[in-house]
């Protein structure tokens, strides 16, 4: 039931249709374009007014195209809302770290197996124990591997290919990563000594917060043809990895926000919020940040690749003797905190735009040149994880995404409770016990991490996905239910 009378956001927004709401340019002085929020009424009822302020603030930045957007999982973030999407003219626009976030190329990868739920369920507890032991996790966790500065440069520049060439995966993994696991334009000289120092010992670590490794099974298939293309079928076990660029990316963002704060003043860019520090897209400052951001993005793809390799080893040790080759192919890996130079059509003209996606993922349709060859007739896999005890979804990108959202979809469920509030109101041991009663085993370094990421601190993943599906930004292919979770 909507609480329209009590919620001030209804006084601000203009309803376009059931799942699209507009922030008019009259809402705040200086807005260059309207805002667009893709959200259902139940999700709008729990949207903070401050998130709408952030959408409007982004709409005031120079060179923004069409709209300042927010996906259905939107909530308050740094500068841009989480779930924010904005595209800026490649020549007359800006680049802003606030539109990417501190965890550069935080992303998700999904791996299929030939195992059935009944194969894994009896071994689930020791399997989770072994995964927890094999994958370093938690704040300050250190990797099982060590790399020197030259190897770190190779990671920054070559991305997933570095991992495969060093024994962490197979050639087929590369083609199933967004951008083939390697953005162009990396310049390691733009990465500070401090960022390097933080990055060297953390390659192949899960981190903390909302990062996770989840063992799942395919509960339902909605689109048989697309599911077959992705290698998914009902009853099949999959696993999902969610993490990013760790301390390296965080430090790269921190370093360049300071530089771009100065650049904003230098280029006399009026900022409604200092967290939107930015510089003209073609300026030295913006390009220096972009080159360093690419380094962090490539690092993140390697990080997930190394974790996947170790997960494959654990699964093999448990099941290979009995089941043979387990068919652990990478379905896809998507980024959801990154800026990319892309071609999009604006008023009938193709333009190069810096598309910022913060807590949003690409959702490119069939035939798009930037998706894998074997998904060309289907559309890009769009992976939207749930929240430990809730469903995750695999969707396929659709043509409407290019018209509505610059080829973008949501990236998850979106928080409704802060970590501080969650730890105050919930007890990790009780959350873990409740999940266990539902057949979901959780392993974490400390109970407070479980409380912070309890299912109830997030919006409904099903509600979020239904918005994307109904707008045909991306349509549902399969639903995955959790069996076991390793938390950072």
Per-residue pLDDT tens for 95-145?
A: 999 999 999 999 999 999 999 999 999 999 999 999 999 998 877 777 889
> For 36-52, what is the mean pLDDT?
95
**Average of per-residue pLDDT values in the chain:** 95
- Whether the pLDDT of residue 360 is over 70: the answer is yes
* Structure confidence by residue, pLDDT tens digits, 134-151: 998 877 777 889 999 999
What pLDDT score was predicted for residue 389? 86
Evaluate the CA torsion angle 246, 247, 250, 255 in order and state its sign.
negative
Note whether 72 and 83 are within 8 A (CB): yes
DSSP 81: P
3-state helix, strand, coil in the chain (%, to 5): 40, 25, 35
Residue among 165, 34, 79 at smallest CA distance from 359 = 79
356 classed as catalytic? no
In which residue are the tokens 């032991």 written?
133
DSSP 378: T
Count CB atoms within 10 A of the CB of residue 470: 14
Note whether 88 and 118 are within 8 A (CB): no
pLDDT band at residue 423 using 50, 70 and 90 as cut-offs: confident
- Which one from 344, 411, 424, 469 is the annotated catalytic residue? 411
Residue 5: exposure state from Cβ atoms within 10 A (0-12, 13-18, ≥19): exposed
Q: Three-state DSSP class for 92? A: coil
What pLDDT score was predicted for residue 1? 44
What Å distances lie between residue 311 and 241, 307, 418, 427, CA to CA?
10, 6, 30, 29
Query: Picking from 161-175, 234-248, 401-415, which range would have the lowest pLDDT averaged per residue?
Result: 401-415
Indicate the pTM of the whole model: 0.96
Count CB atoms within 10 A of the CB of residue 268: 6
In which residue are the tokens 């469920």 written?
413
Angle (CA) 99 336 477, round 5°: 140
DSSP per-residue codes, 336-372: SEEEEEEEEEETTEEEEEEEEEESEEE-PPTT-TTS-
pLDDT band at residue 208 using 50, 70 and 90 as cut-offs: confident
What pLDDT score was predicted for residue 5? 60
> For 412-438, what is the mean pLDDT?
86
| Close Cβ partners of 160 (under 8 Å, ≥ 6 residues apart) | 169, 173, 174, 177, 180, 181, 182, 298, 301, 302, 305
What Å distances lie between residue 381 and 37, 335, 393, 454, 468, CA to CA?
23, 12, 10, 26, 14
**Domain annotation for the chain: domains and CATH numbers:** 9-416+458-487 (3.90.1860.10)
What Å distances lie between residue 293 and 188, 247, 299, 410, 418, CA to CA?
10, 13, 10, 21, 27
* CA separation for the pair 109, 45 (Å, rounded): 31
Q: Three-state DSSP class for 425? A: helix
């Amino acid at each position: 039931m909507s609480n329209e009378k009590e919620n001030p956001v209804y006084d601000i927004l203009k309803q376009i249709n059931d799942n699209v709401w507009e922030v008019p340019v009259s809402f705040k002085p200086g807005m260059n374009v309207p805002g667009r929020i893709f959200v259902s009424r139940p999700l709008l009822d729990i949207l903070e007014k401050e998130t709408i302020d952030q959408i409007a603030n982004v709409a005031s930045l120079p060179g923004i195209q069409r709209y300042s957007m927010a996906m259905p999982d939107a909530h308050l973030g740094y500068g841009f809302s989480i779930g924010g999407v904005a595209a800026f003219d490649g020549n007359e626009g800006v680049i802003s770290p606030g539109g990417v976030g501190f965890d550069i190329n935080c992303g998700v990868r999904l791996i299929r197996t030939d195992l059935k739920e009944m194969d894994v369920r009896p071994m689930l507890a020791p399997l989770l124990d072994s995964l927890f032991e094999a994958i370093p996790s938690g704040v300050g966790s250190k990797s099982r591997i060590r790399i020197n500065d030259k190897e770190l440069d190779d990671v920054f520049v070559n991305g997933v290919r570095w991992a495969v060439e060093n024994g962490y995966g197979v050639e087929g993994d590369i083609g199933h990563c967004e951008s083939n696991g390697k953005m162009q334009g990396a310049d390691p000289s733009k990465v500070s000594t401090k960022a390097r120092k933080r990055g060297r010992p953390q390659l192949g670590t899960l981190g903390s917060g909302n990062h996770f490794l989840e063992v799942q099974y395919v509960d339902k298939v909605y689109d048989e043809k697309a599911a077959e293309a992705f290698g998914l079928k009902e009853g099949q076990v999959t696993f999902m990895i969610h993490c990013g660029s760790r301390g390296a990316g965080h430090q790269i963002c921190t370093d360049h926000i300071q530089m771009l704060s100065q650049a904003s003043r230098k280029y006399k860019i009026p900022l409604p919020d200092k967290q939107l520090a930015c510089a003209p897209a073609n300026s030295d400052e913006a390009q220096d940040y972009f080159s360093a951001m690419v380094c962090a993005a490539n690092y993140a793809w390697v990080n997930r690749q190394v974790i996947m390799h170790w997960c494959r080893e654990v699964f093999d040790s448990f099941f290979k003797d009995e089941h043979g080759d387990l068919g652990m192919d990478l379905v896809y890996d998507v980024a959801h905190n990154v800026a990319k130079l892309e071609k999009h059509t604006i008023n009938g003209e193709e333009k190069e735009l810096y598309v910022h996606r913060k807590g949003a993922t690409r959702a490119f349709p069939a035939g798009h040149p930037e998706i894998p060859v074997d998904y060309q007739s289907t559309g890009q896999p769009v992976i939207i994880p749930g929240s430990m005890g809730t469903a995750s979804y695999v969707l396929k990108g659709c043509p409407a995404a290019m018209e509505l959202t610059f080829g973008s979809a949501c990236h998850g469920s979106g928080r409704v409770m802060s970590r501080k509030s969650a730890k105050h109101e919930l007890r990790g041991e009780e959350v873990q016990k409740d999940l266990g009663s539902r057949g979901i085993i959780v392993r974490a370094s400390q109970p407070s991490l479980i409380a912070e990421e309890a299912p109830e601190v997030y919006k409904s993943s099903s509600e979020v996905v239904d918005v994307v599906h109904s707008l045909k930004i991306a349509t549902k292919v399969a639903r995955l239910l959790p069996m076991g979770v390793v938390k950072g």
